[in-house]
Every structure is written in structure tokens, then in C-alpha cells.
A and B are shown apart, each in its own frame.
Chain A
């Protein structure tokens, strides 16, 4: 199995971003997804910068994939999208059917992203026919639901599973970060930059429930399938995705790698992780339960 680093879902300063990807360049991750997938107003890093970074990471031996914006609303969003799908160098992850269409038209193989809603074998086969060389399973898909997909998938199609990080659960036209600050979206003053891991939404009982990240809503809990590495492998999963968090991401990558290489046990790795995660772990979706449930027994000893 390979390890992938998903696109950074947050908005960081250029310095922080640069520092982050420098560390990633030397981390044991095989694939790096780059690009702004959440909000077109986030402008500190533009496409030429992403392409430059993509080249650097390629030189460092990583497979680089450019991820497209998930919610495409305007002509200017489409312009950016076309610039990405027309880049002749790097593979593209399509996060909207519009992106899939543009890539299909050019006959370019692509990664079918999570939000394309590939829930059943006929849709999976259709995406493969249109040019998908890899697909990322929907966030909600369980191990049991994945099995028939794996059995039916066309030869050579790779399967990727979101295995670590706060889960993107919803997208809106409304910016919830701007709303929090009573600012209109068009004059948001880029407040996302003050929240490197998003803005936590608590219930009135003080339970961390969701995370507001601009127009995206995430789980507060961290989806963590480290304890399921062998199950994932048995299920024929090719790639595990780690989603960037503001802190300790290279460390998390290392812990996954070491567990996969059997250098440490999942139990030991998880004990280390517990101190480094922004919130407690969950893994409900993988087990066919509510996403926020935690089924894996963290307290298990070696």
C-alpha cells in the first residue's frame, strides 16, 4: 500500500505552507495532492506557485496530483479549473463532474475524487471508462460496502481511502467563517488564515462537534484508520490518504509508514498519536456506523 497526502484544506500563510511542504518532501509519503479545493477567494498561493511546488515535490521523488475545487460556481472558477485540467505535466484529481468532463474530453487519465459520489459498481465502471485511473471512496462508505466495489473494479483501477484527518462533510455557498465574524463573504477579510485547523463548533454542552473551514464543514473528530491498516490491505486498498492538519502531519505520516512496515504495532502508534491529534479519533464510517463513532479499542495493549 502507498501513502498519499491529501490537499491542504485550510488557509495558511505562505511561510507556513512552504515550511509544511518542505517537511513533506522528506517524509515517507508517496503521493502528494496539491491545490486549493475549498475556496476561490484564498489567493496567497496561486496556480503558478502550486505548479512550482509540484515540480519541487516531483524532483523529491513524489507523485504529484493537482486537486480541483469542489464547488464550482462561477465562470472564473471554471477558468481556474480549465487551467488545471489543461496543464500538461501533472495528473489531476477531479472533484466535480465538470472537471471529469474536461479531462475525459482530452483523453487524460484522472483521479475520481471523493465528491464524485461513486457509490456502486456501475458508476465505478463508468468512471473508469471515462478515464479514471484511481478513485477515492466516498467518506460515508464502509468496509462492507467497499467489498463489492473491489470485486467489480476494472483491472488496474486504484482505490484510495481517506484514512487520517478531520473529514470534509459538507460544502455550501455560504462561508461559515465569515458568518462567524459577521462579515459578508465577498469581504471576508480572509479570516480563515487565523484558524490553521479550522474553527471549532461546539454543542451547548461543550462537546467539539464540527469544524467550520470557510464554505466547508468538517468533523471535529479525527477519522483515524491506523488500527485498520491490515483490514484495508486485505480489502485490496491501494492507497491510504492522510489529510493535512496544522501540526504534526509529517509525524503522522511516519507513524502510518512505520505501522505499515511493521516497525511498530498499531497500538503503540495510536498511543503516540493520541497526544498529537487536534481532537479525539473516530472511525464509524468504516465500520458502517455513524461517522463520529469510535469502534477501534484504543486501550488495547500490545
Chain B
């Protein structure tokens, strides 16, 4: 397997401190975004301006790590200059690859900077090799990040039919929907990942203490209600409790995180080029811990894939960092569907 010994660990950097601890704890690559709606984690107080981005690139490169820039929202019909400028800046800053979803932007990037490496974002919704090969043929993308919807077998089959490197999500927040094809958030709040780089934005959240319990609302829509004994979670709208035909339950998905640590030997054997850790919105402490565990696990697996054992301490550490302290193998494991 050509990629077997190269599997990269790609870690989130929502800030310069997060970038530095990711690099210090063994990330091969960090990914970041600019401080605006050109990326899908357009949250207040997060991300990089030009000066911090320059310092981030310097720090990462001087420690032998790469920097990827997420420009993975869709430029809206007026005002795409901001995205084009971001690509210009990425090139000038010496970013190692840009992560794009919009075909128009890919065209601009490959016409203007033929030497700039392009990755297809998960927001590009490419779930099959014909789609991935489309982006390869048209724009020369070199890597694709797969939406969190395919079973491992499907990933394997896809890889046999494309020259494009494959990056998979390994740990962190779990999108149940195909990324790039979900407008639930804008249906309720007017803002979505595709259009604004946000999902269930904080400014639309209201908490209400009622006789029935603590309620979370998103722009007036009741997402969940908690009994006194329950821990309240952030009201991401697909992870609320709703009523369907008389039953109240997590009708779409529980508050849970993806954790694929136990699949690591399979992923390595398959030649997955990179494992992505979700969480640019999380703290440097989260980034440090998750990076350290995954670095150690990848090292152990590389040394002895046949006898790879998950250390209980890894799972304990990751469990504490998971949403609702729960984790799942998601779609990689067929029964989840």
C-alpha cells in the first residue's frame, strides 16, 4: 500500500494557540480559516487574520508541519471577491493546500495559481468516485475529504477507482446529513453552512426556564427540553428531541461524537491518506489532548498493525471530550444507518 506509512494526522486550529499545541503534540497538518464567512466555522472570536495566519504558517513550517486553509463555503452571487482574495492570500502566505467546495473557486485557483494544491472539502458532497474524478479532471484536485455517510466498504471501493487521495473524519462532531446538502439551519435561522459558514448559530439560540424544564430554542423553534437531572447540550437542531407519531426521542441523531479509533488498522491498510480531527471551534486544551491521543495511536498502529490495541486511557480521554460523552462509529459501521 503506497500510503500506508504516510497517513497524515490533520488537526483543527481555530486560533493561533490551538495551532501551536496541535503542532507541538504531533499534528502532521493543521487546518484553519480566515476570520469571515469564507469558511464553515465562521464563529465569533475564532479564526485568523493575515498577521496571525502568517505567524501560524511560520510556526508550523518551522516544526515540519503543513498548513491547510479551509475556504469551504459557497461564494454567494454577489461579493465573491472576498473568496478570491482569500485564495490570493493563501498563495502569498505559503499555505500548503486550500480546501474548497465551490467549483467556481476551484476554477479560479487552478487558473491563477497552478502550483497551489487543492483539496475538495467535505462541503463539496462528493460521495462517489465519479464525482471525485469530476473535480480531479476539471481542476486537478489532489485530495478529497469524504462526507460522513459512507460505510468503510464503500470507501474502499471508491478508493480503487480514483487517483485522488482520500481524507476521512476520524474524531469529533458528527454531521448526520451529507455535508453541503443540508439547509436545515437556514430553514430555521436564515443561515447555513453553505451560505454563511454556520450551523444552528449561537445568536439564534434562546434558553428558557419553564415549569416543564429548561428549554433550548432556535429562532423560536423548540429543539429540546431538559429535566433537572439531565445535562443540557448545545441546540444543534438535528440533535434535539422531537415528537414523531406520539413518540418523543432523538428522531435524527443523539448528541454524540464520531470516534473511529478502533478502525485505525483498517484505515491504514486501505491507504487512507489522512485522518481529520473535527473541532476548530474547540479549545486549545481539546486540540492538544485529541492530537496527542491520535498521534500515539497512529504510531502504535504503524509499528504493529496486526496487534493494535486501543489503550483504555485513550478512550477515557477522548470520551471526556465527546459531545454528550458519547461516541459512535457513525456510517462507517453499517448498523448505524
User: Which A residues have a C-beta under 8 Å from some C-beta of B?
Assistant: 70-75, 77-78, 81, 96-102, 104, 115, 117, 119-123, 125-127, 138-141, 145-149, 167, 169-176, 179-180, 184-186, 199-207, 209-210, 212, 217, 219, 284-285, 288-292
Contact = CB atoms under 8 A, between A and B. Distances in A.
Nearest to B192: A140
B186 A285 contact: yes
Contacts of A115: 125, 181
Nearest to B331: A173
B97 to A, nearest CB: 20
A169 B188 CA distance: 11
Nearest to B78: A148
Contacts of B247: 180
Contact of B186 (A121, A140, A172, A206): A140
Contacts of A204: 222, 224-225, 241-243, 248
A292 B181 CA distance: 18
Contacts of B104: 120-123, 125-126
Given A77-B128, A115-B181, A145-B76, A97 B187 contact: no
Contacts of A290: 186-190, 219
Given A120-B75, A120-B80, A73 B184 contact: no
B133 interface: yes
Contact of B252 (A81, A120, A127, A176): A176
Give the residue among B127, B149, B248 with the most A Cβ atoms within 10 A. B127
B81 to A, nearest CB: 11
Nearest to A98: B130
A41 to B, nearest CB: 11
A201 B241 CA distance: 10
A203 B218 CA distance: 11
Contacts of A101: 130-131, 133-134, 137
Contacts of A199: 244-245
B195 interface: yes
In the A-B complex, the 9 residue pairs with the smallest Cβ-Cβ separation, listed nearest first, are: A122-B104, A98-B130, A173-B149, A101-B134, A123-B104, A291-B187, A98-B131, A119-B74, A170-B182
B128 A117 contact: no
B221 A169 contact: no
B187 A292 contact: yes
Given A119-B75, A204-B224, 14 more contacts: A74-B157, A78-B128, A99-B130, A115-B125, A117-B125, A140-B192, A170-B238, A173-B150, A173-B336, A209-B242, A210-B184, A288-B190, A291-B183, A292-B188
Given A185-B337, A212-B244, A290-B219, A180 B251 contact: yes
Interface string B136-164: 01000000000011110010010000000
Interface of B: 74-78, 80, 101-105, 107-108, 124-131, 133-135, 137, 148-151, 154, 157, 176-178, 180-184, 186-190, 192, 194-195, 219, 221-225, 238, 241-245, 247-248, 251-253, 331, 334-337
Nearest to A115: B181
B178 A71 contact: yes
A146 B77 CA distance: 7
A173 to B, nearest CB: 4
Give the residue among A104, A122, A184 with the most B Cβ atoms within 10 A. A122
Contacts of B242: 201-204, 209-210
Contact of B190 (A171, A205, A284): A284
B107 A217 contact: no
Contacts of B177: 170-172, 217
B34 to A, nearest CB: 18
A266 to B, nearest CB: 24
B337 A167 contact: no
15 contacts: A73-B154, A77-B128, A97-B135, A101-B133, A101-B134, A117-B194, A140-B194, A170-B183, A180-B245, A203-B222, A204-B224, A204-B241, A209-B221, A217-B177, A290-B219
Given A170-B181, A172-B149, A174-B337, A97 B131 contact: yes
Nearest to A104: B134
A202 B242 CA distance: 6
Contacts of B151: 73, 173
A209 B251 CA distance: 12
A71 B78 CA distance: 29
Contact of A73 (B149, B182, B188, B224): B149
B244 A180 contact: yes
Contacts of B189: 290
